[in-house]
């Protein structure tokens, strides 16, 4: 699905030198690379504050903790996402309320969010936060979500784990919500060589709390604890690797866009190809098609040793640990339909046209 070796070859000796520098200076925890990558990420997206951390999941938990979201609070979240999005809410002690998504962008449906807020009020929960996900690389509709959030005094947390680097109406993700969380898991569009993540905010007060949460709720020094926190630092070695990868990231996203357009041209008459909303760009964490004959396509490609994946065959609200939480009135029909018919194809910036042609031909042959 993702070829990390092609990128490794492109960066070559620069990566080896970056790792060697960290081993030589020995500042493995919060070394100079950590502050440097935070500064570069802030400049890259335009956020005032970037707090790196140990994973995308941790980034979400830190954001909820820094905003004091907990027991009795409702957090509105799509069910059509990676488990970590909802998991962070439960770990923070709050209650997820599952919201449906739009069939074309796979992102949170603002009309469903408005209905879900009523559900929270009826169940005696305090509506606290909208946790929007930018699924498969594309931003959610922040203007529409913001209008509803504002009306109810809610703040928006953006799970940009799959989509850092994408733009919403001229604004970079990292600046489109009160707090944005992302992941540097190796297969994400901007990945390191292990676990990592970051939190973005323009609020100085929230940034200060995030820094406290990252290291055991530490205050001005290690002898002062001002809140309950975590061990959630990004390590220097991963920061050094990420700095190198960040230097080619924008160029890679141009390639991703070209590759997505090529898939769309080759497949749009036989399957539903993914749409990008007006004013948005995608970093194509996944290239996800829809077809009633999804399983047939997957089997045909597997027989030709072409990888495919279904994200996500089982929505979160039907998984045992999450079954007991509220769902928006009327249920999640779009989410349940998508679980039946989505299929993600190989997608990375180094996918050669000849390889892509084989994938396109295989999908067409499966449906012929």
DSSP per-residue codes, 20-44: HHHHHH---BS-HHHHHHHHHHHHH
| Residue number, 187 or 225, with CB nearest to ligand PLP | 187
Q: Is 82 in the site for ligand PLP (CB under 6 A)?
A: yes
Q: Does 286 bind ligand PLP (CB under 6 A)?
A: no
Which residue in the set 31, 34, 52, 57 belongs to the binding site for ligand PLP (CB under 6 A)?
A: 57
- How many residues in the shown chain lie near ligand PLP by CB under 6 A? 15
Contact flags string 106-145 toward ligand PLP, x per CB under 6 A: ---------------------------x------------
Q: Could you give the string, one character per residue 190-209, with x where binding to ligand PLP holds by CB under 6 A and - elsewhere?
A: -----x-x------------
Based on the shown chain and the rule CB under 6 A, indicate whether residue 185 belongs to the binding site for ligand PLP: yes
Told to check if 159 binds ligand PLP by CB under 6 A, we report: yes
The stretch near ligand PLP (CB under 6 A) out of 120-128, 159-167, 220-228, 344-352 is: 159-167
From residue 40, give the alpha-carbon distance in Å to each of 13, 30, 33, 44, 131: 21, 16, 10, 6, 26
Q: Which CB sits closer to ligand PLP, 82 or 142? A: 82
d(CA 106, CA 336): 12
Applying CB under 6 A, which part among 8-16, 82-90, 114-122, 328-336 lies near ligand PLP? 82-90
* Residue listed under structure tokens 């690797």: 241
Give 135 or 276: the residue with its C-beta nearer to ligand PLP: 135
Contacts made by residues 207-215, CB under 8 angstroms, sequence distance 24+: 207/48, 207/49, 207/51, 209/65, 209/66, 209/67, 210/49, 210/51, 210/62, 210/63, 210/66, 211/51, 212/66, 213/62, 213/65, 213/66, 214/51, 214/53, 214/62
Distance between CA 127 and CA 96 in Å, rounded? 10
Tokens of residue 266, six digits: 């080759």
User: Which residues make up the interface to ligand PLP (CB under 6 A)?
Assistant: 55-57, 81-82, 84-85, 133, 159, 161-162, 183, 185, 195, 197
């Amino acid at each position: 699905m993702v070829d990390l070796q092609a990128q490794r070859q492109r960066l070559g000796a620069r990566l080896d030198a970056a790792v060697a520098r960290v081993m030589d200076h020995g500042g493995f925890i919060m070394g100079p690379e950590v502050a440097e990558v935070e500064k570069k990420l802030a400049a890259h997206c335009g956020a005032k504050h970037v707090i790196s951390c140990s994973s995308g999941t941790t980034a979400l938990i830190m954001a909820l903790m820094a905003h004091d979201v907990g027991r009795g609070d409702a957090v509105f979240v799509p069910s059509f996402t990676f488990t970590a999005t909802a998991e962070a809410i439960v770990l923070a002690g709050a209650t997820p309320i599952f919201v449906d998504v739009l069939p074309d962008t796979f992102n949170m449906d603002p009309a469903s969010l408005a209905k879900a807020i009523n559900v929270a009020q009826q169940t005696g929960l305090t509506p606290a936060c909208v946790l929007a996900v930018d699924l498969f690389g594309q931003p959610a509709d922040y203007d529409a979500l913001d209008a509803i959030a504002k009306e109810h005094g809610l703040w928006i947390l953006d799970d940009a784990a799959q989509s850092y680097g994408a733009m919403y109406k001229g604004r970079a993700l990292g600046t489109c919500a009160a707090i944005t969380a992302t992941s540097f898991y190796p297969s994400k569009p901007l990945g390191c060589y292990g676990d990592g993540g970051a939190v973005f905010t323009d609020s100085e007060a929230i940034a200060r709390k995030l820094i406290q949460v990252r290291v055991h709720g530490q205050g001005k020094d290690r002898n002062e604890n001002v809140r309950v926190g975590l061990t959630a630092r990004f390590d220097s070695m991963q920061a050094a690797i990420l700095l190198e990868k960040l230097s080619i990231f924008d160029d890679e996203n141009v390639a991703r866009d070209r590759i997505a357009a090529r898939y769309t041209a080759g497949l749009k008459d036989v399957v539903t190809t993914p749409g990008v909303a007006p004013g948005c760009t995608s970093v194509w964490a996944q290239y996800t098609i829809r077809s009633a004959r999804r399983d047939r396509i997957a089997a045909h490609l597997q027989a030709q040793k072409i990888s495919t994946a279904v994200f996500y065959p089982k929505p979160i609200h039907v998984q045992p640990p999450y079954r007991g939480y509220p769902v928006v009135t009327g249920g999640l029909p779009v989410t349940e339909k998508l679980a039946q018919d989505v299929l993600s194809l190989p997608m990375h910036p180094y996918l050669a046209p000849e390889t892509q042609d084989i994938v396109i031909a295989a999908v067409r042959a499966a449906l012929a």
